[in-house]
Amino acid sequence: MTNKIIETSDFRLLMPEEIWLEEEDYELAQKLSEIEGTEAQKWQAYINSLGMFALEKWLKDSINNQEIQRLIDTIDTHAYLQQKGFKLCLITQEDFLQEGMIINQKIIHNPDYVAHFYVAMEVLEEDESAILRGFISYDKLTQLSLPNFEKDTYWLSLDYLDPEPNHLLMTCKYLDPSVITLPTNVIQEVKETVEQTIYNLSNWLEGIFEEGLQTLDELINTGVMENVRSSPRSVSEKIERFILINFQKREVTTNVILRLEIEALEAEKIGVKVKLIPLKNQRYLPSDIQLRRYSNAGKLKQQKIAKQKEYLELNPFLVRKGRQFTIEVSIDELSVTETFQV
C-alpha cells in the first residue's frame, strides 16, 4: 500500500515518501526474474519488477483504480507501465547515492523503447518499500545534452527530474497522450501492414516449406555462403532452412543469415537450433547485433550479443505441438522478427 495521499485533486502535495511492497510482490518478482541470462540480468529483472509493482500501486491508489497495463518484454533492462495511453518507463535502482542513474540510449532513440515519461524508482528490497525519486517527460529528456557514460549509455542526473510526482498524476489524469509526441518506427509500421508469415515447422517435416526460405545449396550457388556442408546426415534426419535478413539504414546495407535446424522428437516435440551467421565476404557478424528468442507469451527466453564473433547461436530448445516462438534479430534501432509454430 502507499502512504495516504489526501485528495488526488490537490496536486500541490508533497511526494509520498514510501510505497510499501507486499509478500505477493516479491513472489511474482521472483517468477518474472526467471529469465535466460546472467545473474546480474536476473537480479535487475527482479528489482525492475518490484519497482513496477510499487509504481502500479501508487498510480491505482492515486487515480481511482484506472486500468494499468504491465509491459514486461524488456524486464531485464527496463520495466514499462501503460496507463490511459501514457507509456511510463521505469529506471529502477537500489540506491541513488550518486545522485543520478545510467540509462540505455535506446530508451531515448529507439522508437520501440521510448516512453511518454521516465520514472526513477529506488527499490529498498530489504526494507520492503520503494521511493519515487522523480520523473521526466520524453520531450524534455530529448532536449538535454546528456554525457556519455559507458558504451551505449548516458548519465542522467536527478537534478533534471521533477521531484513532485503529483505533476505526473495531473498529466495522466487530465491530459491526452498526444500532448507528448513520440517517434514511430516507420519500418515496423510498414511491416505491420503486411500479413506476417508464420513458419510452420511441422510442415517442414513433411517437406512443405514457405516462400522465402532457402536451402544451403541455394545460398552456396548464389555466392552468399561458403560451402560449409557438414558430414552426411544421421538416420535421425534433421532439416535446416535459411532466411536472408536485410537491414537498411540510410545508404548502408547490412545482411546476415538466420539458420534454423529442426528435428522431430518424441511426445509431439520438435528440437530447434537457431544460428546467426555472416555472409560469405564477412568474417564476423556486425558488432552488437543481437539474437533473441521469445516464448509464445512474448517472454524473453534467450539473448545473445555479438562481440567480434563469427556467429551467434542460441541454446537448443524444445517446442511442443501447438506452440509458437519468435526470433528477433536487431542492430541499433532496427529489428526483424520471424515467428514459428509447431
The 10s digit of each residue's pLDDT in 161-194 is 999 888 898 888 888 888 888 886 544 444 444 4
Rounded Cα gap, residues 274 and 261, in angstroms: 7
Is residue 326 one of the residues assigned to a domain?
yes
Q: pLDDT band for position 141 (50/70/90)?
A: very high
Identify any residues that bridge with 282 across adjacent strands, giving them in sequence order: none
Instruction: Write phi, then psi, for 108 (nearest 5 degrees).
Output: -110, -40
Neighbours of 139 (CB within 10 A): 12
Identify the domain boundary among 150, 168, 183. 183
Stretch 71-91: mean pLDDT: 87
Grid coordinates representing 21 are: 511492497
Rounded Cα gap, residues 30 and 16, in angstroms: 26
User: Does 72 or 213 have the greater pLDDT score?
Assistant: 213
Report the predicted TM-score, pTM, of the whole model to 2 decimal places: 0.54
Q: pLDDT band for position 247 (50/70/90)?
A: confident
Stretch 303-312: mean pLDDT: 84
40 and 176 share one domain: yes
Q: Give the closest residue to 290 by CA, choosing from 325, 261, 258.
A: 258
164 and 194 share one domain: no
163 and 193 share one domain: no
135 and 176 share one domain: yes
285 and 150 share one domain: no
Rounded Cα gap, residues 292 and 276, in angstroms: 11
171 and 215 share one domain: no
Angle separating helix axes 39-62 and 23-32, nearest 10 degrees: 140
204 and 329 share one domain: yes
> Can you give the pLDDT at residue 115?
93
Rounded Cα gap, residues 251 and 82, in angstroms: 35
Count of the separate structural domains present in the chain? 2
Is residue 87 one of the residues assigned to a domain?
yes
Residue range of the domain that includes 152: 19-183
105 and 230 share one domain: no
Stretch 99-113: mean pLDDT: 88
> Can you give the pLDDT at residue 221?
77
Q: Does the structure show a pLDDT above 70 at 296?
A: yes
Cβ within 8 Å of residue 73, ≥6 positions away: 294, 298, 299, 300
215 and 177 share one domain: no
Stretch 134-142: mean pLDDT: 93
> Can you give the pLDDT at residue 246?
84
Identify the domain boundary among 166, 183, 200. 183
131 and 196 share one domain: no
Q: Does the structure show a pLDDT above 80 at 16?
A: no
